[in-house]
Amino acid sequence: MRVKIVRTVKINSFSEGVHLQEQLSQEGLVIYEALFRKLMDNDEAQAKKSLLSDFNEKNELQRRRPQRGSPSKSGAEINRQEKNLVQIPIHPETIAPKPEFDVKQVLTLLAAYLGGGTLCFFLIRHQINGIKTNGFLDSLYFCVVTMTTVGYGDLVPSSTLAKLLACIYVFTGMVLGGLILGKAADYIVEKQEILMVKAIYTSAKFGPEELVKEAETHKSKYKFMYAAAVLLVLMIAGTLFLYFIEDLGLVNAFYCVCTTITTLGYGDESFSTGIGRTFAVFWILSSTMCLAQFFLYLAELYTEDRQKSLAKMVLTRKLSLSDLEEADLDHDNSVSAAEFVVYKLKEMGKISQEDIAIVMESFRKLDIDQSGSLTEADLRY
């Protein structure tokens, strides 16, 4: 298998020039870079300028120049090589940009959801039993407790209409929380990653580029650390508020915090004052979502560690003759750098044969003149 790169561009890093559709993850790009660094010359500055062009020229000569004393390749053999060709686009601008997260839209949807629910429950407030303070505040508080599935039980619907409305509201709230608020929390955490790295490496003289690289390399770790720090602050704030404002004992206050953020909501301890419920509207939303993100990042960190361990094992293990035979995708009794990279990525589960087949099918459709390479003439059709 040959990697055909039609146009050589100046790149600042290996990862900028490598992207195999959307099948290669960020870890795959890092592994791709590591493989090329291992295979190519240690002169990094020179390699960055000439790696792609030199590699393209050598493979072009080997593919087109017949060996002495050997017959020229038949059309069937050329077609077989073209079928094994893997096209790796190197232009960052060809990659679909990641859609921007619209914070205003999320806040608008959340405000509309809570506002509509508050209005509905305010109109039927006499059909809700429990500990009451202010009609509007109780309705908003009931919306938040229902949406987050905390369900203390200090306010409960008593009529058929109120119960049906609560059923509809809790399901729509779970959808809103899962699809929108989760993304909002993830967006906020990602925005604070650089600040987290700066805080950790305050004594080290890291420039902006080094900080960004560190944050990208250990993305899951810093997201987890930031979520854990925010969760700890929210738990301490909730405990102190319940202790001083709601007059709960320290243990009972901490107990109420734990049952709230985990959405257990036993109901034996809850917010019963007007100022307490005002605080609870914001605190319950943020703390429950923060705990969900905390466990999400924990699972992500564990998965990333396993992937890195697998990648390290694959990269360091000694190759056998059977490995070389399997990596020799074009069956020319030699393994090129491109074949080695693709073989290792497949071995680590980053890509599959089906992924390569899909990309090759797209390449063959674009290659109008069937030359085995893409030119401007092919793109004009």
Q: Give pLDDT tens digits for 206-237.
A: 666 665 565 566 778 888 888 899 999 999 99
Which residues partner with 130 through β-bridges?
155
Q: Which fold would CATH assign to domain 103-305? A: Helix Hairpins (1.10.287)
Distance CA 222, CA 56 (A): 38
Identity at 274, one-letter amino acid code: G
Contacts of 176 (CB under 8 A, 6+ apart): 109, 110, 113, 147
Distance CA 314, CA 309 (A): 9
Least confident window among 57-71, 179-193, 265-279, 367-381: 57-71
In this prediction, residue 104 carries a pLDDT of: 79
Distance CA 355, CA 345 (A): 11
In this prediction, residue 230 carries a pLDDT of: 93
Cα-based distances in Å from 344 to 41, 84, 185 = 19, 16, 35
Distance CA 193, CA 228 (A): 13
Domain ranges for the chain, please list them. 14-97+319-380, 103-305
Distance CA 106, CA 233 (A): 24
- DSSP states along 97-166: PPPPP-HHHHHHHHHHHHHHHHHHHHHTGGGEEE--S-HHHHHHHHHHHHHTT---SSEEE-SHHHHHHH
In this prediction, residue 142 carries a pLDDT of: 96
Residue with tokens 């960052």: 92
pLDDT digits (tens, 9 = 90+) for 157-186: 999 999 999 999 999 988 887 776 666 666
